[in-house]
Structure 1
Amino acid sequence: MTVHGRVTLGVLVDSLGPDVVQVLSMPRGREILIGAPVIYDPEEPMKGLDGAVLLATGRPSAQMIARAGEAGVAVVVVKPGSCDATTLAEAAHAAGTALLAAASDLSWGQLYTLIDALLAVVAPATEQVGGASRAPDLFALANQVAVRVGGAVAIEDLAMRVLAYSTVEDQKIDELRREGILGRRVPEHPTNTGEYSAVLRADGAVWSYEPVEFYPRLAIAVRAHGEALGTIWAVQSETPLAADAADILADAALAAAPHLAKISLAADEARRRRDECLGRLLRGMGPARGLAASFGLLQDEPLTVVTIGPHTGPSDAFAATHAGDLLRTAYASYRMRAAAGAVDGHAYAIVAADSALPLLRKITGDTLDRVADRIGGRWRAGVSRTAPSLAALPAAARQADEALRALCGPFATTQVGGHAELAAALFLMEVDSSVRDTPAKYGEPLNLIADHDQRQGTHYLRTLRVWMAAHYDVPKAAETLSLHPNTLRYRLRRIGELIDLDDYDTRLVLGLQLRLRDIAANDRPDDRPAP
């Protein structure tokens, strides 16, 4: 990490705004350049943190602040209530390190995402073009427009990601805008498609009054050479916007277009190259060591492949790309080295961790919830077995694919699953595929019982399901069936006149046939919970 960052400390503080961070100490002023954010684990050594924005979890001490200063950390961020702010501010001043206090209701992951996104969209602090300063960056532009129109402003790309937002004091925002800022993306809502389509179709600024429970917003599309690049939104709270707000937004759209075009082109190209390298690693093509090094992965360390996809239906390119971005940000926020992106329409990640690591499963599960919130639908994540080295990645990728296939099938109900624990589900899927179009699937012994039920009006199939699910425990099964145990024993003897229930193979085949029959009929037995 290098101190030669793109953003000054002053830009960071102003862009995040007083609702997100408060300055406790700034001994070297506002003009120092900052590097990338890091969620700091107190048990790890302070190495490679030159210029970092250190997000100090737990209860930071004055000694920790002093060590951060020695390591060249530019900014330390703490949470109020976790420490004595005065003592830490004095230590920060002595160490020459800035100290900020983050909002208590903001998670470290959210703050990491906000700072990471800021570094991506704000122009270099000292860059000049043709001897003249560049046009204002997107955050500065948002603030300028907010002052002129008299309402909070947000600038978004076509994926509804919040690229920049205003932080003008006393300008009110509603919960919709607050969630968008914290999550860096407009929250999912049934009206999103309609209102964004209306904005992108219009030649100028248009009003949006949906969702009705939030403030009205005036919005305009940002275009370059007729191609839509994003949108600008101004919130009207209790005070009406300026009379010429539509004209101001039109000017702002012209000013924002070069920035959004640059971001779009840079992001698309960087993402394309990253995804291409990721795909070559997963397929075992090309110089594996060099490809892995570009992601910060080592040749002979344990690696795990994770892939995520929708529970039902195919994954489209946009969804896969967005899911890959969320995976990469989530792992990075916990300092977990990973290569993540979209390959062949699916989101993948190669993580430098053991597949059984609980934190890996938790981060992945939390990411699925975020994907569902932003894109909709139910999502699943397949996890490979641990690959001992880069050479085993193609096999691990196949395992992750198989695990995801099992999770999206009828034999598994969890959100995140590993290849090892899904072995039974994968076996059942193979059996189902093998016998799907053969008479054996519904042949003897199953059809003997089914025919008897149909002819005589008995309920032998359900009886057998419950009895087998109870591991052949008659009293337990009888309780589920609301029968006396002796009544169930008599019923089983009658069934035994049709098939040999004492034969192990008969029980095994019958249980398998019942399971496949229930899945095919989409009729789960009463004793099994629905997913």
Structure 2
Amino acid sequence: MKPVDQVNAVSMPWDGITVGILLDSLGPDVVRPLALPHGPSVAIGSPSIHDTDQAHVDLTEAVLLVPGGPSVELLDWAVEAHVAAVVVRAGAVDPEPLTAAANRAGVSLLECSEELSWGQLYLLIDALRAVTGPVLEEDDRAADLFSLANDVALRAGGAVAIEDLSMRVLAYSTIPGQEVDDLRRDGILGRRVPDHPTNAEDYSAVLRADTAVWISDQPDFRPRLAIAVRDGGEPLGSIWVIKGEKALTDKAPEVLVEAARLAAPHLARLNVAADADRRERADRLGQLFRGTGPRRRIAESFGLRFDAGATVVVIGRDENPPAHSRGMSAGSAAVHVSVLLRMALSSYRLPAAVGSLEGQTVAVIGTAADSPVLQTIIASVLARSEESVGGGWRAGVSRSLAGVADVPLGYSQAKQALGVVCGPLGHGTIGKHQVLGAPLFLLEVLDALQTRSALDAEPLSVVSDHDSRQGTDYVRTLRCWIAAHYDVARAAEALVLHPNTLRHRLRRMAEVVDIEDPDVRLALALQLRLQEIDTEPLG
């Protein structure tokens, strides 16, 4: 149901919306009934995300959204709490016993689409109540975000949009004849503010200010008056008013200050819903990467075919990220990057499970590791991440996996590849496990040998001790000779020596250590290379 289709509830009494209205408005692709023991006319109130700590919260007539696998006992508890309807996710549980229990308990049971997040469903139900609800007067005008947006548009004199911190358009005004530009129109259609070169600077200015601020005119969009929405000093989102051909009203800044105060509790509720959705998604994602739980069902809940090929991608920062990390924690930055990756994959219609684990962005993607499209997507996300949350981002890509059952192995491979590309042997920003065999081996040997001080042990220590005692330059000579693949002429050029001089030096060195023995040569080459890796700067 679109907000533009809202009814003028001033001309008629309003008794709220029912389960039937909810089902008809959102449609069977979004939510469908499993049990309606009292029919579709049961009145419903606000949506609420189920939380085991909400024992003292009034849930009368609530639409209870239940992440995870609800139990029969939860339905009995919902009846005692006077919940109007319980919503479960398709595929999360076996619906038959739950449906029978709901009919026995006498509570409406609905099933929402696997493709819809809890935050999105919360927003849809809230928006439905908003657009079918009454237009209230004075300080009660903030009964919902859409009516608040219309109220601000009328009082401020321009089209209004209310957004969260992720620049999602939560609500907008629908006053006939209001002027909007292409940026606002695209934002409404896509429910997200489109990319623009000035976005980062503009939003930073709004979130830094304590009152409404003007965003200057640009060639491709109209001037805007904007204000941050805060709760106890914590930013939750923003409200934007477009200046059309006519100037905004003189009281527009004051109207926005009041609107920000009224919008704060609504945005706080939506944040709670989003947090619950992220927690549930992170739990399913964690099971997928650990190889635990009902993996087939979890894979299908993300739109992945369990037996189809897949690739794991891990995106993280190198160990010395630039100072301009925009003040975000590692976890928050990873969540932001995961949103960018999910949007990019969605635009190419690639099925994927995307989220954040241990401060890194992780994804299982239904395509091959050597897919050119995948490389394009990863490169684009890394570039956009640098623009939005600072630089230092790298990606590790697993080998192509036979199916989702191999995700734990792919996760290990992707993390190993990320470790290489973030380390002293890294080149570029994307590391693919299938082409990193040599550096992976060297790093594994380095890790194994470091604990025994083997890098400085014999046979290399014999040469370095001779240099210390006799003032020779055998270690550097060895390094250049090995780097030249034992080619005397090339090594002599690098050392600025005559080839005969180098041959003489090598004969003298052979009296110290047997450089003609292939095993000794291998050990010396390995020790010298691992020393270089151990001392090279990262990145």
TM bucket by the smaller chain?
0.5 to 0.7
Whole-angstrom distance in 2 between the partners of 1:217 and 1:488:
74
Equivalent in the alignment of 2:86:
none
| Inter-CA distance 228–197: structure 2 relative to 1 (3 Å threshold) | closer
1:294 and 2:306 matched: no
Contact 1:187/1:374 (8 A) holds in 2: no
Deviation at 1:266, TM superposition (A): 3.1
Whole-angstrom distance in 1 between the partners of 2:182 and 2:432:
48
Q: Percent identity?
A: 46
| Inter-CA distance 411–149: structure 2 relative to 1 (3 Å threshold) | same
Contact 1:8/1:125 (8 A) holds in 2: no
Deviation at 1:421, TM superposition (A): 2.2
1:229 and 2:224 matched: no
Equivalent in the alignment of 1:400:
414
Whole-angstrom distance in 1 between the partners of 2:199 and 2:505:
56
Letter in 1 for 2:344: A
| Inter-CA distance 160–171: structure 2 relative to 1 (3 Å threshold) | closer
| Counterpart secondary structure, 1:433 | helix
Query: CA-to-partner distance for each residue in 1:317-369, whole Å, 9 max, x for gaps?
Result: 21221122122111111111111012343321111112222222221222122
Equivalent in the alignment of 2:404:
390
Equivalent in the alignment of 2:426:
412
Contact 1:307/1:347 (8 A) holds in 2: yes
| Counterpart secondary structure, 2:285 | helix
| Counterpart secondary structure, 2:434 | coil
- Match for 1:183 among 190, 195, 200? 195
Moved more, 128-137 or 226-235: 128-137
Letter in 2 for 1:276: D
Letter in 2 for 1:283: R
Equivalent in the alignment of 2:134:
132
Equivalent in the alignment of 1:252:
259
| Counterpart secondary structure, 2:431 | strand
Whole-angstrom distance in 1 between the partners of 2:456 and 2:243:
64
Contact 1:205/1:219 (8 A) holds in 2: yes
User: Unaligned regions of 5+ residues in structure 2, if any?
Assistant: 6-25, 30-118, 137-141, 185-191, 217-221, 322-328
Moved more, 379-388 or 142-151: 142-151
Whole-angstrom distance in 1 between the partners of 2:348 and 2:287:
26
1:367 and 2:369 matched: no
| Inter-CA distance 344–118: structure 2 relative to 1 (3 Å threshold) | closer
Deviation at 1:228, TM superposition (A): 3.8
Q: Count matched residues.
A: 405
Whole-angstrom distance in 2 between the partners of 1:336 and 1:186:
29
Contact 2:165/2:236 (8 A) holds in 1: yes
Query: CA-to-partner distance for each residue in 1:87-110, whole Å, 9 max, x for gaps?
Result: xxxxxxxxxxxxxxxxxxxxxxxx
Contact 1:280/1:286 (8 A) holds in 2: yes
| Counterpart secondary structure, 1:412 | coil
Moved more, 180-189 or 289-298: 180-189
Deviation at 1:208, TM superposition (A): 9.6
| Inter-CA distance 196–130: structure 2 relative to 1 (3 Å threshold) | closer
User: Structure 2 length normalisation: TM-score?
Assistant: 0.61
1:275 and 2:287 matched: no
Letter in 2 for 1:261: A
User: Structure 1 length normalisation: TM-score?
Assistant: 0.62
Whole-angstrom distance in 1 between the partners of 2:535 and 2:203:
36
Moved more, 498-507 or 249-258: 249-258
Whole-angstrom distance in 2 between the partners of 1:280 and 1:301:
18
Whole-angstrom distance in 1 between the partners of 2:270 and 2:379:
29
Pairs within 5 Å for 1:488-503: 488-503=502-517
Whole-angstrom distance in 2 between the partners of 1:152 and 1:510:
73
| Inter-CA distance 379–120: structure 2 relative to 1 (3 Å threshold) | farther
Equivalent in the alignment of 1:321:
335
Deviation at 1:391, TM superposition (A): 2.1
- Match for 1:307 among 288, 297, 314? 314
Which structure would you say has the larger Rg?
Answer: 2
Deviation at 1:418, TM superposition (A): 2.5
1:477 and 2:484 matched: no
Equivalent in the alignment of 1:432:
446
| Inter-CA distance 304–512: structure 2 relative to 1 (3 Å threshold) | same
Pairs within 5 Å for 1:192-231: 198-199=208-209, 202=210, 204-205=211-212, 220-224=227-231, 228-231=235-238
Q: Cα RMSD between the aligned structures?
A: 4.8
Letter in 2 for 1:300: D
- Match for 1:348 among 362, 367, 391? 362
